[in-house]
Amino acid sequence: MEKMMRFQYKPVRRQEAIVGLFVLLFPVLLPCFFASFSHASPSTFLEWSVPKPRHLRLLASALQRESSDGEPTDLWAPLADQGWRPCLGGSVNAPPLPQKSEGYLQVFLDGGLNQQRMGICDAVAVAKILNATLVIPYLEVNPVWQDSSSFMDIFDVDHFINVLKDDISIVKELPDDFSWSTREYYATAIRPTRIKRAPVHASANWYLENVLPVLQSNGIAAISPFSHRLSFNNLPSEIQKLRCKVNFKALVFVPHIRALGDALVHRLRYPPTESQPLITDDLTGTTDRNVKQMPQKFVVVHLRFDKDMAAHSACDFGGGKAEKLALAKYRQRIWGGRVLNSQFTDEELRSQGRCPLTPEEIGLLLAALGFDNSTRLYLASHKVYGGEARISTLRDQFPKMESKKSLASSEERVLIKGKASLLAAVDYYVGMHSDIFVSASPGNMHNALVGHRTFENLKTIRPNMPLLGQLFLNKNITWLEFRQAVVEGHQNRQGQLRLRKPKQSIYTYPAPDCMCQA
């Protein structure tokens, strides 16, 4: 027995020695490991290494707050009537469409879903200006999102054509005589029918002088690139109203997107209780729970905190040198030297409000405004930089947080899986049906939803980015001071209508061009 014990003891001691040696050598090997790992994939750090929370004092206070502290009574109150109504005009007194079109207009749109959405609206306006027949716009594959979804994959094309039938002529495909006019055709050489020199925010006269002759000579004109190629100023009021008509009435998502969106909204409004597990029959969201259950309110948080945004911002997110190197390499690979933010320090960027809010920071903002751990959140987001570990601080503050993945089954998500545009479309739809919408940082999704919710007079909290940047830089600020500053700094940023100023987007500020005072 004694021999057996000695025999078993030796391997154990040997294992302990190996473990001890590894512990001693790990600090030496770690830099080499990082170097080789970073060399192999500059962005790998972003996927697996997550820094600790940066605002521990504020976070601790936010987590200690109780629901019984009492939310402001007006927190969930809908916006008061601001005296403005949607005013898109009608087709009753509109002149009939000319019998003869000047030719076919093609546009090629880059960017993500909401940039393409704005481009579609502009394309309809340009077709109207030129008296051209619009070909359903071609959506380019974005190098970041890598989504090949077409117009018809995202939007209800028949609804689009029907709503605009009295405004312009639209075709789904070119006739056989022009079937040669493809994306590939324009990629191989300079073509006389391609308009490549359209300036950003071009005037109506520019199109009449430069594109109309091409249409009249060739019967077709293709504009690429097209995004942001129509001015917001000095356009006839009927053209402005037409752009809003496209954005707010003609662009409707395909039925399966709307069905999934309705199901998610229903599950947010009527969450299952512990004694009533959720049993969903189909995408209508109907369940077998008590139909008398009172609907609950929920907030949609658009967390635009992906690798693309983090790198482009050039801000420091607490990951040290390894993170800075990975972000810099990614930034250089995607944009070259065209990111001007990289010329500023992190303190300068934050004080100017140029840094996107992290999940931790958006949670602190919501907590300071008065939302508590009973608040239902829907997280609208693509791939979050840092993954679930980065989101954990937000989830700690708001345990009733949901997303597409938590609310819908894998079978329900099969049609949108891996499709960035369709995923964004679902989030857009849920965002339009929420009680409150909050965007963590400005961007195309933020602009599109702010404008659309303004058009419908819905509450939308716009974070005061310069204020928050300065507050988060102050490491000695108390929770009471932070909360007071946040509340005061957001009193007039909850959906109050703002009139569009010169050069501002009509899609973000639809009044006064597309709205009328009651």
Domains of the chain are 54-66+73-79+255-269+293-304+355-515 (3.40.50), 102-251 (3.40.50)
Q: How many CB atoms lie within 10 A of CB 120?
A: 25
Token pair recorded at residue 319? 């990951």
Give the separation between CA 506 and CA 451, rounded to whole angstroms: 8
Q: What is the pLDDT along the chain (518 residues), one digit of tens a residue?
A: 444 444 343 444 444 444 443 443 444 344 443 333 333 344 444 444 566 889 999 999 999 875 544 555 689 999 999 999 999 875 445 667 888 999 999 999 998 999 999 999 999 999 999 999 999 999 998 777 788 999 999 999 999 999 999 999 999 999 999 999 999 999 999 999 999 999 999 999 999 999 999 999 999 999 999 999 999 999 999 999 999 999 999 999 999 999 999 999 999 999 987 545 555 555 554 544 445 789 999 999 998 888 888 998 999 998 888 998 999 999 988 888 888 888 899 999 999 999 999 999 999 999 999 999 999 999 998 788 888 888 999 999 999 999 999 999 999 999 999 999 999 999 999 999 999 999 888 889 999 999 999 999 999 999 999 999 999 999 999 999 999 999 999 999 999 999 999 999 999 999 999 999 98
Q: How many CB atoms lie within 10 A of CB 422?
A: 23
| Closest to 71 (Cα-Cα) out of 435, 342, 434 | 435
Contact predicate 46/327, CB 8 Å: yes
Token pair recorded at residue 238? 């009927």
Token pair recorded at residue 1? 């027995």
Token pair recorded at residue 395? 């989830």
Token pair recorded at residue 293? 């259950």
| Closest to 318 (Cα-Cα) out of 8, 47, 55 | 55
Token pair recorded at residue 14? 């040997």
The secondary structure of 315-333 as a DSSP string is ---S-HHHHHHHHHHHHHH
- What is this structure's pTM? 0.86
